[in-house]
Amino acid sequence: MPRAKHEPTKHTKELVSLHATMGTTQELIGAIVGVDEKTLRKHYRDELDQAMAKANATIGGTLFNKAKGGDTTAMIFWMKTRAGWRDRANPGGEGAVDDMATALKELAQRLPA
């Protein structure tokens, strides 16, 4: 007996978006909705893609604001991942991070609030 064709509803679209935003795996989202991963991607591609983009924008915005506000850890992370900065090899192990932290603090003081 063939399976019934899946028809997305407003409720299942919202459910998929919510779970995708929170990082639930597609395998588990499919199980929650009652479809396999291939069917999930076929019927909910927009929800899956947009949820990930919205989550990244939210977290990225928060990180950016923390960095702008002077959070040294956020600044270092941003510069390493977004601007290609890296620690220099340092036999003592301390200087590279300290120098970067100092440079970022000085940069933050010059940024508009």
Give CA–CA dist 73/61, Å, rounded.
Answer: 15
User: 65, 64, 76, 74: which is closest to 103 by C-alpha?
Assistant: 76
The verdict on 46 and 13 lying in the same domain is yes
In which residue are the tokens 């940069």 written?
A: 107
The verdict on 55 and 21 lying in the same domain is yes
In which residue are the tokens 């992370």 written?
A: 77
Determine, yes or no, domain membership for 113.
yes
The verdict on 57 and 41 lying in the same domain is yes
pLDDT tens for 12-49 read 999 999 999 999 999 999 999 999 999 999 999 999 99
pLDDT of residue 97: 54
The verdict on 28 and 74 lying in the same domain is no
Structure tokens at 91: 């036999």
| Percent of the chain topping pLDDT 70 | 88
Q: How many residues does the chain have?
A: 113
Number of domains observed in the structure of the chain? 2
Residue 29: DSSP 8-state: H
The verdict on 41 and 84 lying in the same domain is no
Residue span of the structural domain in which 74 resides: 69-113
pLDDT band at residue 63, thresholds of 50, 70 and 90? very high
Determine, yes or no, domain membership for 15.
yes
The verdict on 16 and 48 lying in the same domain is yes
Determine, yes or no, domain membership for 2.
no
